[in-house]
Structure formats: C-alpha cells, structure tokens
C-alpha cells in the first residue's frame, strides 16, 4: 500500500513538473497581455540579442524599440548603430537607454551616452537604467549615488530638452530609494502584472519573451500614450 502511494505521488509530481515546463517554455514566452486603449507592444534590446531581423520584428506586432546605447563612462553597445538604423528603417519608434554604473561619475556617463545618442526630436525620451544586477561591486553611500545620478540626469535632460524616463529595478530601490518622490515617468518592471504606480509610461512585462526576428529571449514591453 505504501509503495503504491509513493508511486502515485511520484507520478503526480512528475506530471506537474512536466506541465509546468510546457507552460514555462511553451506558453509563457509567447504570452502577451491584452492591450488597453492607447497602448502598444515594444521591445528593449542590446548586444545580447545579436543580429536582429527588424522586418520580422515589425511584422510581429511590435511598434517601438528601446535600444541600449551605453554603459558607464566608456562602454558603447556594439550593436547600437545597426539596431537604431534597423528599427528606424521599418518604421518603429525608437529610443536609447543608458545603463548607469556605480563605478563612474555621473557627468562622465552622461558624456558617454550623449556621444552615442545625441538629441533627436523624433526619438522616444531617453532612459536611465538603474539596477544592481550586472552593476559593479562598489556600493557607495546613498547621498553620493544620488548626486551622481542627478549629474547624469541634469546633463542629458539639458542636452535633449526633455525629461528622462526612469527604469528603477527593485534591487536598486531597496538600497538607493529612488521611486518615492520621483517627479519623472517610470519604466516599470512587473512580471505579468500591470503596474499600480500611475506614473508608468512603459511596462516591462516579460524578460524572456519570444518575438519573430530575434534569436532567443527578449524583453517585451507595453507603452501607453502620453497624457
């Protein structure tokens, strides 16, 4: 009797794992939440995606793309120029983002970003990407970090004549509280759940979505029209 119970339980567990794998790898990457009024699908990409077939991306219902331009004070995404040109060629709205590092002055990072992505009236608002994952190991005091972020924001916004969009991951906000009191719109990351913060302009839905024209996973986003 006991052996039969163990066999039954094991079979149930194996079946559950199998079903979970089917959902995770077969359904979840292709799932897109229904759009509400004034919303559209987009992606954000970097060198991690390699070569992209932008014609196929556009045919797959994608209408905008945020493209990584730079990181820190000297790193430039090697695919930025090609991705920027490709997204524009197929008629996607496009914007550039900078990964902010804790290991370099904010002003130097702004100069790096602006050298790669100079002001463009036809582009989406530029983005500052604030997250600890993938960042350097240094953890300066909060007031110092706030000053360096402010320096970056001031220089880029002055050059572009537009407010930056802030992408703030929870790990960053836990160590360097940023969201509370922020008077800028947000690019909000919420896995499958709609944002509750009314400041959101872009919602990152899924970090391992599948989109035609891209080999492997990509970040799927939803943008809503500006008020």
Domain boundaries, position 7: 1-30
Residue 13 has pLDDT above 60, yes or no: no
Q: Are residues 146 and 106 in the same domain?
A: yes
Q: Are residues 85 and 149 in the same domain?
A: yes
Q: Are residues 114 and 190 in the same domain?
A: yes
Interval 69-78 mean pLDDT: 97
Interval 212-219 mean pLDDT: 96
Q: Are residues 4 and 94 in the same domain?
A: no
Residue 7 has pLDDT above 80, yes or no: no
Q: Are residues 200 and 134 in the same domain?
A: yes
pLDDT confidence of residue 205? 96
Whole-model pTM over 0.75? yes
Mean pLDDT of the chain: 90
Q: Which two tokens stand for residue 30?
A: 């292709």
Residue 14 has pLDDT above 50, yes or no: no
CATH number at residue 62: 3.20.20.80
H or E element that contains 27? none
Residue 71 has pLDDT above 90, yes or no: yes
pLDDT confidence of residue 26? 56
Q: Which two tokens stand for residue 9?
A: 């339980």
What are the C-alpha distances in Å from 10 to residues 19, 21, 22, 23?
14, 16, 18, 20
226 three-state secondary structure: coil
Q: Are residues 98 and 210 in the same domain?
A: yes
Q: Are residues 22 and 109 in the same domain?
A: no
pLDDT confidence of residue 6? 59
Phi, psi of 134 (to 5 degrees): 85, 0
Q: Are residues 26 and 41 in the same domain?
A: no
pLDDT confidence of residue 20? 40
Q: Are residues 20 and 84 in the same domain?
A: no
* Domain count along the chain: 2
Q: pLDDT of 84-141, one tens digit each? A: 999 999 999 999 999 999 999 999 999 999 999 999 999 999 999 999 999 999 999 9
**DSSP annotation string for 61-78:** T--EEEEEEEETTTEE-T
Torsion of CA 98, 104, 108, 114, to 10 degrees: -10
Q: pLDDT of 181-196, one tens digit each? A: 899 999 999 888 899 9
Q: pLDDT of 34-62, one tens digit each? A: 999 999 999 999 999 999 999 999 999 99
């Amino acid at each position: 009797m006991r052996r039969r119970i163990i066999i039954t339980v094991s079979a149930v567990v194996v079946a559950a794992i199998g079903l979970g794998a089917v959902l995770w790898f077969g359904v979840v990457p292709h799932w897109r939440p229904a759009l509400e009024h004034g919303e559209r699908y987009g992606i954000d990409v970097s060198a991690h995606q390699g070569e992209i077939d932008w014609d196929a991306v556009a045919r797959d219902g994608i209408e905008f793309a945020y493209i990584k331009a730079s990181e820190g004070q000297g790193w430039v995404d090697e695919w930025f120029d090609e991705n920027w040109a490709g997204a524009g060629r197929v008629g996607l709205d496009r914007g550039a983002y900078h990964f902010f590092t804790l290991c370099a002055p904010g002003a130097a990072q702004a100069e790096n970003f602006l050298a790669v992505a100079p002001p463009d009236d036809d582009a989406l608002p530029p983005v500052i990407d604030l997250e600890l994952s993938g960042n350097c190991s240094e953890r300066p005091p909060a007031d110092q970090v706030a000053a360096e972020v402010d320096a970056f924001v001031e220089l880029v916004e002055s050059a572009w004549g537009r407010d930056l969009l802030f992408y703030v991951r929870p790990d960053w906000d836990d160590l360097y509280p940023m969201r509370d009191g922020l008077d800028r719109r947000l690019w909000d990351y919420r896995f499958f759940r709609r944002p509750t913060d009314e400041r959101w302009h872009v919602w990152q839905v899924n970090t391992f979505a599948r989109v035609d024209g891209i080999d492997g996973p990509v970040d799927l986003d939803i943008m809503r029209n500006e008020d």
